[in-house]
Amino acid sequence: MSEITRVGVDLAKRVIQVHAVNAAGQRVTSRALARDKFMAWCAQLPAGCLVAMEASSSAHHWARRLVALGLDARIIAAHLVAPYRLQGKSGKNDANDAAAICEAASRPQMHFVPVKSVEQQSMLCIHRLREGFKAERTACVNRIRGLLAEFGLVFAQKPAVLRQALPDVIEDACNELGTLARLALQRAWAQWQELDAHLAWCDERIAAHLKVNEQVRQAEQLMGVGPVTASAVVATVGDFKQFRNGAQFGAWLGLTPRQNSSGGKNNLGAITKRGDMYLRMLLIQGAKSAVMTAHRRDDPISKWLHQLREKSGWQKAAVALANKNARILWAVFVRGKPFDARHVSVKPGMAAAAV
């Protein structure tokens, strides 16, 4: 075990495959371990040994435990591992996956996923739960509309209108609703109210995160960034210094255009949509509200946003503001300066020329 310098780990629910190599890259061992024996095996590795694994639901948990043992735990995004599987798509199995992870971890330009803390993952649990409740509430409301439409009862599209009218509709004896239909709607109405209560609880937890976390309060100052977006950004990213600059952070979120350039000719398309879909969605949705009200403000960002909306449409303007907000977030957290809507950025080269 002392000659092992790098280990690739393929995680699973019950069996964990490991592939270990020495300093020369030669295989030392490749074996499957029971889940309860994995940490005991890792405890025999030399201190500082690199242990890499694919990003998965339990990867951060294992990485924290390995770091506590004095090992160098790394997490790699799954799509960056696949090219290093020598057997290709037709040779996918646990042993080959572990070998591919081990090989990918040796690349000097490999991008690793920072290990999340327990606090970060706990806060993200609230966000994931909130998104699930939102989807369930939407399904519940649509289900109620469909049931009412079967009896010729149609209401305005806004949920608030249906929420106000539904109790009276259930109690109204003049409509065609049968006894079983009324009972079914009562159950659906109770489910709707329960989901509203769950969502309110999630919003309370996010508000508490905003109250106690200085970074969340700083992020909320940006135009088009509310408490939910600010909390999600801080909980997901953690250390913003992992990115070289704001442009790299925007690219990590999938907010930059995809390229198909060749022969010196640049050809840019739609945004790549890589990275965290939840963060990208929140930034774009928040940017939409800022785009629609940009004409009411006179700061430089709002003026630029209004001109872009008139030129290219509100959809492109919203994505552009989301990308700009991503860059501003990086600058705020890395440089330690509060957000200023009237700040005018100067490129380092231009500043040096002016001096």
Using the predicted structure, report yes or no on whether residue 354 has a pLDDT greater than 60: no
Task: With cut-offs at 50, 70 and 90, classify the pLDDT of residue 272.
Answer: confident
What pLDDT was estimated at residue 347? Answer: 67
What would the pLDDT profile of 200-226 be if each residue is shown by its tens digit? 999 999 999 999 999 999 999 999 999
What pLDDT was estimated at residue 48? Answer: 92
Dist CA 338 CA 218 (whole Å)? 7
What pLDDT was estimated at residue 349? Answer: 62
What would the pLDDT profile of 282-331 be if each residue is shown by its tens digit? 999 999 999 999 999 988 899 999 999 999 999 999 999 999 999 999 99
What would the pLDDT profile of 125-178 be if each residue is shown by its tens digit? 999 999 999 999 999 999 999 999 999 999 998 999 999 999 999 999 888 889
Tokens of 226: 């509310």
Distances (CA, A) of 107 to 46, 52, 76, 332, 347: 21, 12, 11, 31, 32
Residue with tokens 């840019």: 268
Using the predicted structure, report yes or no on whether residue 179 has a pLDDT greater than 60: yes
What would the pLDDT profile of 68-95 be if each residue is shown by its tens digit? 999 999 999 999 999 998 887 778 899 9
Contact assessment for residue 42 and residue 51, using Cβ atoms and an 8 Å cutoff: yes
What would the pLDDT profile of 151-163 be if each residue is shown by its tens digit? 999 999 899 999 9
Percent of the chain residues topping a pLDDT of 70: 97
What pLDDT was estimated at residue 65? Answer: 95
Q: Which of residues 354 and 64 earns the better pLDDT score?
A: 64
Dist CA 83 CA 97 (whole Å)? 11
What would the pLDDT profile of 218-257 be if each residue is shown by its tens digit? 999 999 999 999 999 999 998 899 999 999 999 999 999 8
Task: With cut-offs at 50, 70 and 90, classify the pLDDT of residue 96.
Answer: very high
Residue with tokens 């005018």: 344
Task: With cut-offs at 50, 70 and 90, classify the pLDDT of residue 269.
Answer: confident
Task: With cut-offs at 50, 70 and 90, classify the pLDDT of residue 352.
Answer: low
Exposed/middle/buried for 48, CB within 10 Å: 0-12, 13-18, 19+?
Answer: exposed
Using the predicted structure, report yes or no on whether residue 38 has a pLDDT greater than 80: yes
